[in-house]
């Protein structure tokens, strides 16, 4: 692994490294100051050329791989959506490739999930659905680009929640752009994603067919993890052992049937059995293809039985009142009115 950049190092005479945010098999991410725009903080994603070359399915020369990286990075730079960090620059320096994007403050859902487990306070369905609505907004935007853009590594660790409560889908390390004249995809940095959130077809690299339903599977796996507190069985295990995916309502008895059905359909092994696009998944989850505001998803949709159960005291009181009113009506002829203080009320 190449040496990490130290604090104070300046790239392109503009980006001063503040500290390392994280690192992995694809490279590293740094927080940096933009010396040209006072007060601006950005994130630098560093991708090593040898990783670009080694992780590309084809045996194309390194210069072609880097050119491909620039073409894909230019697509990312054109994206503009409130639930995505804005990519503002990309460049090469000292044999390394860099993407520059907005630095997203806040915590990722992986950390939030760990904290909830430590305190034994599972995440609520309404809270998770609120995040899901924003995540689907981002995916719908990506998938409707021309050509469509796939993220291919959706998971709790790649979803951040800002202090203002806005969801941001981050880490474009495996992002791919669908080619209009090819059923396969071309990748910025080839990879297979994270096992628990990766559908079976993605393990084939560029020899397998991936499309928007690949992201839909990963989104379903992410929601499964957030609601149950445990990642779903991975696709390879499910292929070898059908039925190994535990039903969500076995783990979360209070979960609505609608949410469970939507997530399990998103997690279908064969792409044809999943929702064909984000709008279909949104309709399964929320009953509408339109984007929902936060206030609209704070209350999960309940069946009439669940509504009756949750309001059983009010229902019981109403039943008693109806019974009393019925009994009074039977005795209406003898009751001419009510006498109070010498005055008659209610009679004729």
Nearest CA to 125 out of 273, 298, 3 is that of: 298
Q: Which helix (H) or strand (E) holds 150?
A: strand 149-150
**Distance between CA 317 and CA 165 in Å, rounded?**
39
**Distance between CA 274 and CA 281 in Å, rounded?**
8
**Distance between CA 323 and CA 341 in Å, rounded?**
29
CA 248 centroid distance within chain: 17
Pair 301, 129: CB distance under 8 Å: no
CA 112 centroid distance within chain: 14
What is the layout of strands, in order, in the sheet containing 41-47? 10-11, 15-24, 27-34, 41-47, 96-102, 87-93
Clarify whether 215 is annotated catalytic. no
Three-class DSSP category at 218: helix
For the stretch 198-202, contacts whose Cβ atoms lie closer than 8 Å and that sit 24 or more positions apart, written own/partner, are: 198/234, 198/235, 199/235, 199/269, 199/271, 200/235, 200/236, 200/239, 200/269, 201/271, 202/152
- Residue 150 pairs in a beta bridge with 176
Selected catalytic residue, list 108, 140, 153, 234: 153
Query: Three-state SS string across 168-210, please?
Result: EECCCCCCEEECCCCCCEEECCCCCCCHHHCCHHHHHHHHCCC
Nearest CA to 158 out of 3, 24, 298, 15 is that of: 24
What residues are annotated to the active site? 153
């Amino acid at each position: 692994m190449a040496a990490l950049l130290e604090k104070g190092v300046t790239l392109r005479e503009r980006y001063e490294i503040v500290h390392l945010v994280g690192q992995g098999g694809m490279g590293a991410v740094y927080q940096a100051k933009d010396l040209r725009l006072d007060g601006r903080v950005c994130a630098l994603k560093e991708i090593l050329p040898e990783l670009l070359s080694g992780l590309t399915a084809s045996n194309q020369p390194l210069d072609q791989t880097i050119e491909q990286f620039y073409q894909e990075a230019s697509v990312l730079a054109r994206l503009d959506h409130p639930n995505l960090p804005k990519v503002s620059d990309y460049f090469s320096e000292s044999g390394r490739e860099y993407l520059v994007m907005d630095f997203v403050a806040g915590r990722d859902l992986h950390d939030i999930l760990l904290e909830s487990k430590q305190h034994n306070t599972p995440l609520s369905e309404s809270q998770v659905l609120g995040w899901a609505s924003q995540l689907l907004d981002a995916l719908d935007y990506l998938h409707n680009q021309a050509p469509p853009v796939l993220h291919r590594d959706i998971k709790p660790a790649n979803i951040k929640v800002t202090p203002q409560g806005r969801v941001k889908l981050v880490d474009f390390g495996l992002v791919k752009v669908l080619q209009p004249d090819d059923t396969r995809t071309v990748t910025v940095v080839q990879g297979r994603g994270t096992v628990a959130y990766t559908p079976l077809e993605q393990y084939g690299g560029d020899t397998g067919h991936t499309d928007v339903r690949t992201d839909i599977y990963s989104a379903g796996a992410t929601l499964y993890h957030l609601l149950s507190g445990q990642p779903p069985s991975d696709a390879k295990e499910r292929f070898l052992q059908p039925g190994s995916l535990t039903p969500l309502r076995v783990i979360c008895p209070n979960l609505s049937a609608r949410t469970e059905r939507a997530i399990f359909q998103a997690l279908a092994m064969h792409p044809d059995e999943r929702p064909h696009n984000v709008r279909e998944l949104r309709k399964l989850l929320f009953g509408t293809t339109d984007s929902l505001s936060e206030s609209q998803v704070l209350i999960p949709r309940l069946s009439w039985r669940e509504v009756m159960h949750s309001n059983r005291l009010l229902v019981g009181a109403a039943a008693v009142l109806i019974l009393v009113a019925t009994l009074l009506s039977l005795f209406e002829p003898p009751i001419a009115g009510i006498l109070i203080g010498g005055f008659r009320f209610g009679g004729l």
